[in-house]
Structure 1
Amino acid sequence: MHREQSMQIIRAGRLLPARADGYTGAVCVTVGDDGRIAAVERIDPGTLEPSEARLLLMPALSDAHDHGRGLSPLAYGAADQPLESWVVALSAQPQVDPYLNALVAFARLAESGVCAVNHCHNTQDGTALLAEAEAVSRAARDVGIHVAFAWPFFDRNPLVYGPLSPLLERLPEPLRARYATPRAMRSCAENMALFAKAKAFEHDLFCLQYHPVAPQWTEEATLGAIARASARDGRHIHTHLFETERQREWADHAYPNGLVRFLDDIGLLSPRLTIAHAIWLRDDEIALLAERGVTVATNVSSNLRLRSGMPPLSRLIDSNIGICFGLDGMALDDDQDMLRELRLARLSFARDPRLLDAFVLNASWRTGRRTIVGEDGGGDIAVGAPADLFTIDFGTLASDTLLEVPQVFPLVLARARRQHVVDMFVRGREIVSNGRCRTVDLPAAERLLVQNARAAYRAMPVACDEIDALQRAIEDYYTCGCHFAV
């Protein structure tokens, strides 16, 4: 790749277009001082240097649903298991520097070709959410990728979906008193006040969204307040919906007329809303969500690891609803590989895969991006589009091809991994070079994060027996159908 004047010229042997039948030949892209594409020219491949000829250029990817986990849950013993018991194990997480945690997470995403992420923030310290948001804002600026900070509203059902007393009955006597009074949760009014203060942290790579964590975890009045606030200010809303069968069962009993219909009645369903997971949706609900312009962010790796089920991708695509993809901080191999996630999603569609190549990539290039940064013309390699681009080593992907003209789409979607990412640009700025994040020292940040986490873990009381007891009680709570009570 040839770079002049702060990397204003990008040359590659191949281009991956928005359509499977589009031009895939050698290309030269010129980036203007405004960070947008000034020119896209077809060029003679014979003019390229060997290192340039190996490259495939495409729009950078989006991660439409993530949690910014620089420290993996596996690091502190939160093994993969069904969601309802898995979240209990997250209490063993040691408190680490929120800036360092986000910095590592964002740099890893950048090295996977991701230029934009919807960061659903999990607070480490409920009293320090504002400080954590400021730290994430700094990390976004320092790494240099687009981050939408989904501000968490969590004020309902802190332990189980439904009445607390049946859970307490299943706990050992010493634990009942501790969990009889759940930890304090931020009220909607307090959260809205903090949200207003956090607007001071916004910059050209960082914006706030409303994040009612999920209907089972958010009071109805809070959901209504968020719907009204979004209608006034136009900000996006991001939530989890029907991730597990237990959530589906709870909703069917708590909302006999339909939870999705209730969300529509209070004004939450709109083109500003993105719902994550959406595994247990019914056809009438899918139709209503599509009619309202809602976007669905699917998370195949996470759904497999947490035993949640597989998203109804074929039914979703038949409805013409907007679909995008996220890693959820739970990539299949715990490595934040967005390219592999797209492959898994493609293989999950019960359709002719030849019809899906361009669709899957466009879902990441455009649909997912839109849920993070809005409509900005991104996700395309065209004059005027933001120069959010990345290259992969196509020479390696096609090293054994016998075809005179290699099949670009099938090779990328069947073989590409984060190890093949060469360069990644955000607004023309080179964030990744030769496969490594150049804006921050990721290996050093990773070492420091692990060092700090180990020190914090040694200093904290980790009650493994208590976690095990709570997990067993929760599993029995749902097995016995206690969440059916309303």
Structure 2
Amino acid sequence: MPQSSSLAHIDVGAILANPGKGAASGPARISIEDGRIAAVTPLGGAKTGTMAIAAPVNAHDHGRGLRTLAFGAVDDGLEAWIPTLSREPKLDAYRRAAVAFARMAEGGICATNHSHGPQDESRILEECEAVSRAAADVGIHVAFAAPFTDRNPLVYGDQKTFLAAADPALRPRLEARLGPPKEVKAYLRRVEEMAAFEHERFSIQYCPVGAQWVSDASLAAIAEASAVNGRRIHMHLLETRYQREWADHAYPDGIVRQLDEIGLLSPRLSIAHGVYLTADESALLAERGVIVSVNTSSNFRLRSGIAPVADFIGAGTRFGVGLDAQPLDDDDDMLREMRLVWLNHRGFGLDDVLTAARLFEGATVDGRRAVIGEDGGGRIAPGAPADILELDYAAMTADVLAADADPTNVLLTRATRKHIRRLIVGGRVIVADGRCVTVDRPALEAELIGEAKRSWNAVPPDDAATAAMKRAVRRYYGCGCHFGAGLR
């Protein structure tokens, strides 16, 4: 049975309070009161082999308990991959979220920005309530990014041109998705209804899913609502070169400048990906206080490219680290993801670009701001939230000869989820010895898989339709139809 406890204190062999900036201290006792760190007190005696760091944050995800490979959404370019997501069986919303959040916790994650993908848009309130319960039961912080779209339901650009490119047998199904656009006023009211499910570990954010899928008028309405009530906004932006090409055609003066003119850019906004941001656009985001989620594994798996982190650093753009539900090994290992970001962006040859200190700040502080806002978290110091990751440092250093080896280097070289001793969120133990103790993840996951298999066998996916859709997508974008070229 799941067992969790709130702690009065934890004793650790060392504390790495400022990775990349200072040496580890310890042994020490971290005292906890009302979910926050009350004091950090040195202890005598030998080090115990454990090390505490501020727990990292998953700045962008989709919370799929059933991973995409399971239902045949095989990694591909994003535009060709999106149609395969329809193969996901309809699943219990609570189990779907609880399995995802528990898996994240076991990967060291204390908070996540959950960009929700509805299974049934007519039941979005029920799904939101289920995700809220899952967040409470697992115990990590969750921001529920409530999705909204009202344009380009099939592709970026001219929907009729795409229909002409599609297999005739597929057209009736596609035409059914070209109904009247959704009303942003109804969406804004629905978000306020969702706010009834907020609690200490769960908040609601606006989520205009992406600039290519949301009209300017709706983006402006969401920006205005956010300015009035202070609610945060989370969205995708410029993830692929096709989105960049569409945006340059649709907005010759610049898509990011357009978003700024309608009031969307502010410290309340976080964006996912930003792979095709220009240096000038990165500078504008920095000036407005926008936070970017860098999703390295996902951008590799979905063939999107590599985010311009050097530009973010040069401009002072805040950025966090996100898994996007597509981690490198499908295991939600945030420690490995941080290492992947480090290896991709520290600089090649003798060029120094990303520092270890900036990486950890992004993963613990800036990513946290995107999910929770400014709450003093992402550090181990009196007054900060007691969101702490305790690692088996001795297991990482059994062969390390130098007693004064830099622990930041050790973590960036070796730390993975197998080294997690405890994840503590708000002073409560969520993971102990690598296992989520607040919910029974293996049992929930077994139930989820069983449900998925029954659904799959009862209504098998239409493989022919999926293949036809992918062909049509490749033809449309391959012709450049998304930026005004003719169909070939």
- Bin the TM-score by the shorter chain: over 0.9
Q: Does the 8 Å contact 1:29/1:38 carry over to 2?
A: no
Query: Whole-Å Cα distance in 2 between the matches of residues 21 and 278 of structure 1?
Result: 27
Query: Whole-Å Cα distance in 2 between the matches of residues 410 and 124 of structure 1?
Result: 42
The question of 1:209 aligning with 2:205 is answered yes
Shift of 1:302: 0.1
Q: Does the 8 Å contact 1:398/1:406 carry over to 2?
A: no
Per the alignment, residue 475 of structure 1 pairs with 474
Deviations 1:30-87 (A, max 9, x none): 43431111110122242x5xxxx12110111100000001101100101000000100
Q: Does the 8 Å contact 2:310/2:353 carry over to 1?
A: no
Q: Does the 8 Å contact 1:300/1:344 carry over to 2?
A: yes
The within-5 A match list for 1:217-236 is: 217-236=213-232
Q: Does the 8 Å contact 2:61/2:112 carry over to 1?
A: yes
Q: Does the 8 Å contact 2:65/2:100 carry over to 1?
A: yes
Structure 1 alignment gaps of length 5 or more: none
Of 317, 324, 327 in structure 1, the residue corresponding to residue 320 of structure 2 is 324
Q: Does the 8 Å contact 2:29/2:43 carry over to 1?
A: no
Task: After superposing the two structures, state which structure 1 stretch, 180-189 or 202-211, moved more.
Answer: 180-189
The question of 1:14 aligning with 2:14 is answered yes
Shift of 1:367: 0.6
Q: SS at the partner of 2:424?
A: strand
The question of 1:59 aligning with 2:54 is answered yes
Q: SS at the partner of 2:331?
A: coil
User: Measured at CA, do residues 183 and 444 of structure 1 come closer, stay the same or move farther in structure 2, by a change above 3 Å?
Assistant: farther
Q: Does the 8 Å contact 1:27/1:40 carry over to 2?
A: no
Task: After superposing the two structures, state which structure 1 stretch, 183-192 or 355-364, moved more.
Answer: 183-192
Q: Does the 8 Å contact 1:31/1:428 carry over to 2?
A: no
Shift of 1:20: 2.7
Per the alignment, residue 293 of structure 1 pairs with 289
Per the alignment, residue 347 of structure 1 pairs with 343
The question of 1:29 aligning with 2:29 is answered yes
Shift of 1:222: 0.8
Taking structure 1 as the reference length, what is the TM-score of the superposition?
Answer: 0.95
Per the alignment, residue 117 of structure 1 pairs with 112
User: Measured at CA, do residues 355 and 220 of structure 1 come closer, stay the same or move farther in structure 2, by a change above 3 Å?
Assistant: closer
Shift of 1:245: 0.2
The within-5 A match list for 1:399-438 is: 399-438=398-437
Taking structure 2 as the reference length, what is the TM-score of the superposition?
Answer: 0.95
Residue identity in the other structure for 1:93: E
Query: Whole-Å Cα distance in 2 between the matches of residues 170 and 381 of structure 1?
Result: 56
Q: Does the 8 Å contact 2:420/2:434 carry over to 1?
A: yes
Task: After superposing the two structures, state which structure 1 stretch, 149-158 or 18-27, moved more.
Answer: 18-27
Deviations 1:243-297 (A, max 9, x none): 0000000000001111111100000001111111000111111111111111111
Q: SS at the partner of 1:114?
A: coil
Q: SS at the partner of 1:56?
A: strand
Per the alignment, residue 368 of structure 1 pairs with 367
Query: Whole-Å Cα distance in 1 between the matches of residues 373 and 295 of structure 2?
Result: 21
The question of 1:154 aligning with 2:149 is answered yes
Per the alignment, residue 180 of structure 1 pairs with 175
Query: Whole-Å Cα distance in 2 between the matches of residues 438 and 186 of structure 1?
Result: 41
Q: SS at the partner of 2:122?
A: coil
Shift of 1:127: 0.8
Deviations 1:333-391 (A, max 9, x none): 11111111100111111535696112111111111011111111111111111111011
Shift of 1:189: 2.0
Query: Whole-Å Cα distance in 2 between the matches of residues 206 and 254 of structure 1?
Result: 36
The question of 1:240 aligning with 2:239 is answered no
Q: Does the 8 Å contact 2:346/2:354 carry over to 1?
A: no
Aligned residue pairs, count = 477
Residue identity in the other structure for 1:79: V
Residue identity in the other structure for 1:84: E
Residue identity in the other structure for 1:307: R
Q: SS at the partner of 1:58?
A: strand
Shift of 1:402: 1.0
Per the alignment, residue 304 of structure 1 pairs with 300
Task: After superposing the two structures, state which structure 1 stretch, 24-33 or 251-260, moved more.
Answer: 24-33
Query: Whole-Å Cα distance in 2 between the matches of residues 19 and 214 of structure 1?
Result: 34
Q: Does the 8 Å contact 1:37/1:384 carry over to 2?
A: yes
The question of 1:132 aligning with 2:127 is answered yes
Per the alignment, residue 189 of structure 1 pairs with 185
Residue identity in the other structure for 1:362: E
Deviations 1:91-132 (A, max 9, x none): 111000010010001001111111110000000111111110
Per the alignment, residue 72 of structure 2 pairs with 77
Per the alignment, residue 98 of structure 1 pairs with 93
Deviations 1:117-163 (A, max 9, x none): 00000001111111100000000000001000001011111110011
Residue identity in the other structure for 1:28: A
Q: SS at the partner of 1:267?
A: coil
Query: Whole-Å Cα distance in 1 between the matches of residues 354 and 151 of structure 2?
Result: 42
Of 272, 276, 291 in structure 1, the residue corresponding to residue 272 of structure 2 is 276
Structure 2 alignment gaps of length 5 or more: none
Q: Does the 8 Å contact 1:13/1:45 carry over to 2?
A: no
Of 237, 255, 259 in structure 2, the residue corresponding to residue 259 of structure 1 is 255
Shift of 1:213: 0.3
Residue identity in the other structure for 1:318: G
Shift of 1:21: 4.2
User: Measured at CA, do residues 354 and 41 of structure 1 come closer, stay the same or move farther in structure 2, by a change above 3 Å?
Assistant: farther
Query: Whole-Å Cα distance in 2 between the matches of residues 304 and 197 of structure 1?
Result: 37
Q: Does the 8 Å contact 2:342/2:354 carry over to 1?
A: no
Shift of 1:28: 2.7
The question of 1:463 aligning with 2:458 is answered no
Q: Does the 8 Å contact 1:107/1:143 carry over to 2?
A: yes
Shift of 1:223: 0.2
Query: Whole-Å Cα distance in 2 between the matches of residues 226 and 354 of structure 1?
Result: 36
Shift of 1:475: 0.5
Deviations 1:204-245 (A, max 9, x none): 100001110000011111100010001001111111110000
Query: Whole-Å Cα distance in 1 between the matches of residues 361 and 15 of structure 2?
Result: 14
Q: Does the 8 Å contact 1:40/1:383 carry over to 2?
A: yes
Shift of 1:19: 4.6
User: Measured at CA, do residues 198 and 309 of structure 1 come closer, stay the same or move farther in structure 2, by a change above 3 Å?
Assistant: same
Per the alignment, residue 44 of structure 1 pairs with 44
CA RMSD of aligned residues (A): 1.5
